[in-house]
Every structure is written in C-alpha cells, then in structure tokens.
Chain A
C-alpha cells in the first residue's frame, strides 16, 4: 500500500473472488478493522449482489413491456425512410412516448454509424467512453479530483427529446410537416421550431443535446451562437464553463483556458470551483507552471474545503513532482 492507494482495493478484489492468501487476509482484516469505508464497501457489495441476483421481470417496467413488443414486432419491419427530427425542448420526458423515442433511436443507428467514421467519437461517447486528456499527468502524480458540484449542467445535461409528431408522421403514407399549436397566440398551427425565436434555454439544450451525442462541433457552434445572441444570459455563462471542460477534454487547453477565464471574469457562479480547477489544469497542460501554481493556490484560498486541497498541498510541497 502506498500513499496514493490508502485502501487495499486489490485485496478487496481478491476477497470478493475468494482468492486471498493468509497473509493478505490478515492485512485486509487489519485495514478493515479501522476503515469504515472499506468495511461498509464489503457489506454493500453483498447487499447489492443480492439485489442484482434477484429476479426482475421485464414487465416490471411498464415501458419495457412496450419495448419488448417493439423489439419483437416493430424493429424487424422495414425501417421508414424518414428520420425523425430531433428538437430541443423542455427536458421533461414522458414514458408514454418511449416507444417512439426508442424507435427513433433505432432509426438513428445507421446515421450514427456513419458519424462514427467521420467524427471518430460519436454520440455514445457520453455513455461509453470519455475523451482522453490532452497530455498525461506526470508520473507520480494522481489525477486531480473533481470538486463537489451539485449543479445539473456539469453532471447531467438536459436530455434530448425527439419530437413525437415526427415519429407519428411515419405512419402516414404521406408525412406532413410537424405542426404544433402556437400556445402564445392560441391561433392556428405554426411550424414547430423553425419559425419561432430560439431563446437561451433552448440554445443551451441544443448544446447539451450535441454534447450528449458527442457532436462537439455542434456544442461549440451553439456556444458561439449563445454568446452572440444572449451573452449576459445565465445559460451562456454556464455553457462557458461546460465548453471549457469539453475543450480541455478534447485536447485544447488554450481554448479551454479562454472559456474558463470568460466564465470567471463574468462573475462565475455555481461552477466556479469546477472552473477554477479546470483552469489550473489547463495551465498545467500548457506548461505554464507558475500560473498554474497560482491558480491552484487561488482555488484553495477561495474554497478551503475543496477536495483538491490535498492535491494542491502535495503540489506546493513538491513542485518538481507535478
């Protein structure tokens, strides 16, 4: 066990597999006797193992009943030519629309496959892979932890909603343009999205949708549009931090730094701690060590309880070990 690995994870793995040797068992026992986290982990593993082993019929979920039907009956059928339109909308989803959502998602498989080749990283990236950092951390250092940010945008962006009318139109021999009553005017139907003004919230959702799909170009385009049209909106401010992180993850610390600077210069917000961390990380990756050190120090000054405090202290104590 070294300083980094305070918890004997490998021994816990062996314990779970029942492959501990006597000496290892003794070491693990000694650790667990005083480590509440590892002790609880062992109990929780058993708790969840029982839960996962429990039978959970597919029909437990009402929507999955429809899913099975869809899977067995609808999917093998010839796929309609029309690809449902994806629109940004309030993030509330409806279970009753799930069948259409799934059908649309299935339809998009082909398109997404093509996108795989062109983008290198497709819409699955949010779920399956994360972009690798631009530059690996120096040997002997640990990955800087993420701060405790409870705001939704950094941890769970609004989900894309596929317009059900598009899916519904697939059943018609001659699909008609998706129309939706104009709530504000109460008159006749108007075109759903194209003819109305797109507000900052909708642009933000568009960016979130793009990010979820792995369409980073779309994220950046929407960011620029939001900056141009609603530069003082809360959505623009939040997106600055998000885009900064996207750029950092995508290997553009210079661009990321600019976005974090913009976010902080505009007064920050709920993501200030995160932005300060990422900004310092960007400076590190740019090799601007002195500025990075000042940024890390400023972080601890502003957020003394940040989970990064230990990381910063270690860095300041051992500047050569960055």
Chain B
C-alpha cells in the first residue's frame, strides 16, 4: 500500500482510485465507531474523510503507514462531524442508533451495556475541546497507544498525555453522573 500511496501522492489518478478503494472500508469503520451507526451524517462523514484523504495526499511523505495517515483523517472528520451535528440538533435523531438495532452474536445484556458505554463516550466527544476529543477517540475507539497517537497526530508525547488526562477527567465526571454505569463498572468509592 505504501507504493500505492506514494504514487497517489505524486498525482497518479489510477493509484488514487486504488488507494481509496483499499482504505475505504477501514475509514468507514473508524468513522462509524466515532459517530455511531445511527448518526444521520455517517455516510457524509465517510465521504468527507475520503475527500480529505485525497486532499491530503500531496503531503504524504511515506514516513508512516498510509492506513494510519488515512485513519487520522477519518477520526478528525468524524469528531468534527459530531461537533457540527451538535450545533444543529434538528438534524439528529437522538435515541435512534442502528447499533442498538443491529444484530450481534453477543449476549443481549452485554451488547446493551456496550452500546451504553459507547453512547456515553460519543456524547462526551461532542463536548470536549476538539484536540482532546480527537485524542480520546484515537485512544479509546482505535485503541492506539500514546506513542501512536503522537506519531499520527504530530503532537508531542506530553501534549498527548495532557490532552488525554484532561479528557479522562471529563470522562470521569460524566461517569459519575450516571449511577447505573458507576454500579456496572463496580468502581470502589
């Protein structure tokens, strides 16, 4: 994929097409993870991520994996989409989330709990400062390490730590507002 990305970065239209096809499923999953399956702007956000990738390709130097390069664009687009949607609540269909309706092999109770946790995180992303929201999404949704976040986002390691620390304090506050979640987590008080 690296050769493909380099060719695309050089303006090769065919390579760009192949690259988009290769990364689109991953970008779709990432955007969906951040937005939630029922978000009304999900498709738009995926598309915008791909456009963002195309626009960003000239800056690709090959010093990181193309998929990571594309993923961070998807995260940022998805976070921005969440925040934009929050300013226009009329476009949202709160309470309707395809995740909640989608079939799964997981036991119903576990799935409901997981969806509850994910919904809490996504709501939090709406309210956090964008840098914190992006860092938290990379950390939790993508499972990236501090170093990976720093590498892909271009932020210093300690900056990433600082952003995550603040984001997790906000997360903690949000958890404490949710008695059911506190009980479910079983955290010692």
Contact = CB atoms under 8 A, between A and B. Distances in A.
A148 B83 CA distance: 12
Contacts of B72: 127-128
16 contacts: A5-B165, A9-B146, A10-B146, A36-B187, A47-B114, A76-B13, A101-B51, A109-B58, A112-B55, A124-B58, A126-B52, A128-B56, A142-B165, A146-B132, A151-B87, A155-B80
A9 B25 contact: no
Given A33-B188, A156-B81, 8 more contacts: A34-B189, A35-B172, A60-B28, A61-B28, A61-B42, A75-B16, A115-B58, A122-B59
**Majority DSSP secondary structure for residues of B touching A:** helix
Interface string A130-160: 1000000000001101111111101110010
Decide if the interface of chain A is mainly helix, strand, loop or mixed.
helix
B59 A128 contact: yes
Interface of B: 8-11, 13-14, 16-18, 20-21, 24-25, 28-30, 32-33, 42-44, 46-48, 50-59, 69, 72-73, 76-77, 80-81, 83-84, 86-87, 106, 114, 117-118, 120-121, 126-132, 139-143, 145-147, 153-155, 158-159, 161-166, 168-172, 175-176, 181-182, 185-189
A102 interface: yes
Contact of B46 (A49, A64, A307): A64
Interface in A91-112: 93, 95, 98, 101-102, 105-106, 108-110, 112
Interface of A: 4-7, 9-10, 13, 16-17, 33-41, 43-45, 47-52, 54, 56-58, 60-64, 67-68, 70-72, 74-77, 79, 93, 95, 98, 101-102, 105-106, 108-110, 112-113, 115-116, 122-130, 142-143, 145-152, 154-156, 159, 213, 307
Contact of B84 (A58, A79, A116, A152): A152
Given A48-B142, A63-B43, A130-B154, A109 B187 contact: no
Contacts of A106: 13, 16, 54
Contact of A112 (B18, B58, B69, B164): B58
A-B pairs, top 6 by smallest CB distance, nearest first, are A146-B129, A124-B56, A71-B17, A75-B17, A113-B58, A156-B80
Given A63-B43, A98-B47, A155-B80, A5 B161 contact: yes
Contact of B14 (A43, A57, A76): A76
Contacts of A50: 106, 114
A213 B86 CA distance: 23
A152 to B, nearest CB: 4
Nearest to B106: A50
A67 B117 contact: no
A34 B43 CA distance: 39
The listed residue with most A CB atoms (<10 A of its CB), out of B44, B53, B159, is B44
A63 to B, nearest CB: 5
B188 to A, nearest CB: 5
A48 B128 contact: no
Contact of A105 (B54, B83, B153, B181): B54
Contact of A58 (B14, B21, B146): B21
Contacts of A152: 83-84, 87
A6 B186 CA distance: 20
B62 to A, nearest CB: 13
Centre residue among A9, A95, A150 by max chain B CB count within 10 A: A9
B188 A34 contact: yes
A37 B172 contact: yes
Contacts of A156: 80-81, 83-84, 130
B117 A47 contact: yes
Q: Which of B28, B72, B127 has the most CB of A within 10 A?
A: B28
Given A52-B30, A68-B24, A102 B51 contact: yes
Nearest to B116: A47
B156 to A, nearest CB: 8
B162 A109 contact: no
Contacts of B131: 130, 146
Nearest to A60: B28
Contact of A123 (B14, B55, B143, B188): B55
B11 to A, nearest CB: 5
A110 to B, nearest CB: 5
